Amino acid sequence: MANQRPIRVLIAKPGLDGHDRGAKVVARALRDAGMEVIYTGIRQTPGMIAEAALQEDVQVVGLSILSGAHLELFPRVIEELKSRGVDDVLLFCGGIIPHEDIGTIETLGFKGVFGPGTTTTDIIEFVRAHAPVRA
Amino acid sequence: MFDERTREAARAARARYDAEVAAEGREQERPFVTTSGQPVRRVYDPTDLAGLDYERDIGLPGHYPFTRGIHRTGYRARTWTIRMFAGFGSAEETNGRYRYLIDHGDDGLSVAFDMPTLMGYDHDEPEAAGEFGRCGVAVDSLADMEILFDRIPLGAISTSMTINSPAAVIWAMFIAAAEKQGVERGVLRGTLQNDILKEYIAQNEYIYPPAESMRLVVDTIEFASREMPLWNSISISGYHIREAGSTAAQELAFTLADGLEYVRWCLERGLDIDEFAPRLSFFFNCHNDFFEEVAKFRAARRIWAREMRERFGAKSPRSWLMRFHTQTAGVSLTSQQPEVNLIRTTLQALAGVLGGTQSLHTNSWDEALALPSEKAVRLALRTQQVIEHESGVVNTVDPLGGSYFVESLTNEMERRCLEYFEEIERRGGVLPAIEAGFFQSEIADASERYQREIERRERVIVGVNDFAIDEPLEIPILQMDPQGEARHLERLRRVRATRDPDRARRALRDLEGATRDGENVMPYLIEAAHAYCTVGEICNLWRRVFGEQPISLSI
């Protein structure tokens, strides 16, 4: 099994909050780990994120949100992805997320929820372990 | 600072000492560095202060260049203002939190606005979806402001407002709310953050292009200098630069460079420096490294005083004073073993106090997880009260002054800040450096370096990469009123339906005219506020006139 393609990842910031330190640190770490990383920049609507995931043909979508709007915005991102037929991507998220919300977020289809203090090594390993394989 | 004989003796003693230490060979073989990566020597003595001149560089508190503080009597006349930043949900809920804080000893209000307000959208616009009241209070019109400050006498308490792109709009609504309480604008005390430059550099809540935004800032500074002598027209902020991952020296340098840029723009407008400089204020972060932070504050005062007096020729001593607010570092809080955050915050707050801050916000221990609960906020408030009443640090002014280490670190901070000033100048100034992404990439590099140190365990964060435990978290999370959003939207609808439509239309038309003609917009904004025009209506008008600043995609 030669020439395995690098994993393609979209790092996106839904909503209006501009806190992008975490998103940038994760994007850089995944890129340095050999993945192809597309960063959307801040203030993306769910539709814009789903469209980027489709156009960029990514296997992984990571969402970062620190404003507390995750329970409103994450489901909308999922809907937008589904409406475009993007249903085979690995989803993870990070930010200021109360523990009691993690169950709900996992039910939406997120495989990983990473709070402050997570190491990028953990996220790299998580993505490598769970990213769907592309032919 | 020391005579030649003392320095010679110190040099000889230091050489012997270093030889003894080397012979013992007991020191750990690892780099000893500050949180920002600044190397720290084994010990400091007079040899480290060779170029320092006591009178020129240190002096006494309240004396130029104010290294030791801006007041002769430090906290012996008046301690710092306990100013807790708060806001969530609807105006009713936040008003309740303010009255709770005041009841428990808070001295000054500090308003946090939610994302739609910060970005200049009304809450019924599609961009606001899901964001209502999440990280601050929702304000669309004067009607919300009236409720926010209900039963709070705006003439008697000082109010700080963290708002930037729509700062002038929110300030106008605040002034209108005070006027409706019967308080004249001339007696209002408070601070408008109003620092747009750090939005492009770090915090990302910009709407309009830099030059247009700067014009609005200068309008507010001009208006304050003419009509509101007790108001801090701007709070030039390093806090967000640090939160975005910068080092202490970058925070210092970029913030002061921004400050100097505002000064240049105001001078260009034709303002006299001594007319507006006394009302410029600053806002810094206080991170984990105790002495580095104290040195940063001391250096900040010295650099600013010299720039204002020597570079810009300010004559009023009040123009030379750097007055600043401090907030403990949100970015240092961990979601693991969150109770430990209380201890981090205590140390950070102490460094802010020893650095001579004018006001202080202490973060709550649960904020890596959610907005703080009432009890967590009370503990954060109590932290300041313990420092003030029990620790004894307020008894003398600048107790760390004269410490070989702290003075040396203060010099080092100043040196690195001035180096950055030169670098920024080489790049054509602050605005071109922003457009080229210079600040942003410096910060992102520093942030990545820090993260890497933690991951390689070169730097221990208690409970994160060492002393970790596996323990289920049981944290009472703040629950917002589920009816808050509906009530707010109903109020917005009612405001639009019941205001005098002619007055509102005329106010917006006049505002647009003033904006296009380059008149100071403040009087027009205050009229628009009284006419119950909304934040979204005004900010969208400016979106049409000014255009919007594109989003950066660089990592």
What ipTM, to 2 d.p.?
Answer: 0.85
Q: Do the chains contact at A98 and B336, CB–CB below 8 Å?
A: no
* Confidence (pLDDT) at A3: 54
CB of B475 within 8 Å of a chain A CB? The answer is yes
Which of A23, A28, A40 lies nearest to residue B448, judging by beta carbons? Answer: A28
CB of B134 within 8 Å of a chain A CB? The answer is yes
Q: pLDDT tens digits for A64-82?
A: 999 889 999 999 999 999 9
Q: Do the chains contact at B369 and A99, CB–CB below 8 Å?
A: yes
Q: What phi, psi does B179 have (nearest 5°)?
A: -60, -35
The chain A residue lying nearest B472, using CA atoms, is: A99
Nearest to A43 by CA among B543, B129, B212, B440: B129
Q: Do the chains contact at A16 and B118, CB–CB below 8 Å?
A: yes
pTM of the model: 0.93
Is residue B361 within 8 Å of B326, Cβ to Cβ? yes
Give yes or no for residue A21 having a pLDDT over 90: no
CB of B461 within 8 Å of a chain A CB? The answer is yes
Dihedral, B64, B66, B71, B72 alpha carbons, nearest 10: -60
Using CA of residue B55, residue B254, residue B406, residue B293, what is the dihedral sign? positive
Q: Which residues of B touch A26 (CB under 8 A)?
A: none
Tokens of B13: 């003693």
- What is the pLDDT confidence band of residue A24, given thresholds at 50, 70 and 90? very high
C-beta neighbour count of B202 within 10 angstroms: 29
Residue window 277-316, chain B: list those with CB within 8 Å of chain A: none
- Average predicted confidence (pLDDT) for chain A: 92
Q: Which residues of A touch B163 (CB under 8 A)?
A: none
Give yes or no for residue A2 having a pLDDT over 50: no
Q: Do the chains contact at A24 and B116, CB–CB below 8 Å?
A: no
Could you give all domains of chain B from N- to C-terminal order, each with its CATH number? 4-48 (no CATH), 55-393+402-455 (3.20.20.240)
CB of B337 within 8 Å of a chain A CB? The answer is no
Summarize the confidence of residues A102-119 as an average pLDDT.
92
Low-confidence residues of chain B, pLDDT below 70? none
Q: pLDDT tens digits for B277-307?
A: 999 999 999 999 999 999 999 999 999 999 9
Residue of B125, B240, B470, B555 to mutate, interface with A, max A Cβ within 10 Å: B555
The chain B residue lying nearest A19, using CA atoms, is: B203
Q: Do the chains contact at A121 and B455, CB–CB below 8 Å?
A: yes
The chain B residue lying nearest A13, using CA atoms, is: B553
The chain B residue lying nearest A37, using CA atoms, is: B555
| SS3 assignment for B35-78 | CCCCECCCCCCHHHHCCCCHHHHHCCCCCCCCCCCCCCCCCCCC
* Confidence (pLDDT) at A1: 43
Which of A15, A24, A31 lies nearest to residue B130, judging by beta carbons? Answer: A15
Which of B367, B444, B477 lies nearest to residue A100, judging by beta carbons? Answer: B477
3-class DSSP state of B277: helix
Q: Do the chains contact at A67 and B465, CB–CB below 8 Å?
A: no
Q: Do the chains contact at A21 and B205, CB–CB below 8 Å?
A: no
Q: Do the chains contact at B447 and A25, CB–CB below 8 Å?
A: yes
How far is it, in rounded angstroms, from Cα B179 to Cα B184? 6
CA distance A19 to chain B (A): 6
C-alpha distances out from residue B408 to B48, B212, B357, B400, B401, Å: 6, 41, 20, 12, 11
Question: Domain A8-130, CATH 3.40.605.10 — does that match?
Answer: no
Alpha helix (H) ranges present in B374-429? Answer: 374-389, 404-426
Using CA of residue B292, residue B336, residue B371, residue A18, what is the dihedral sign? positive
Strand B324-328 and strand A110-114: pairing? unpaired
Question: Amino acid identity of B473?
Answer: L
Beta-bridged to residue A65, according to DSSP, are: A95
Residue of B204, B239, B332 to mutate, interface with A, max A Cβ within 10 Å: B204
Q: Which residues of A touch B120 (CB under 8 A)?
A: none
Domain map of chain A by residue range?
Answer: 8-130
Interface of A with B (CB under 8 A): 15-21, 23-25, 27-29, 31, 37, 39-43, 45, 66-69, 71-73, 76, 96-100, 115-117, 119-121
Q: Which residues of A touch B119 (CB under 8 A)?
A: 16, 43
Residue of B335, B440, B453, B460 to mutate, interface with A, max A Cβ within 10 Å: B335
CB of B118 within 8 Å of a chain A CB? The answer is yes
Q: Do the chains contact at B551 and A21, CB–CB below 8 Å?
A: no
Question: Which of left, alpha, beta for B78 (phi over 0: left; psi -120 to 50: alpha)?
Answer: beta
Please count the residue pairs, one from chain A and one from chain B, whose beta carbons lie less than 8 angstroms apart: 109
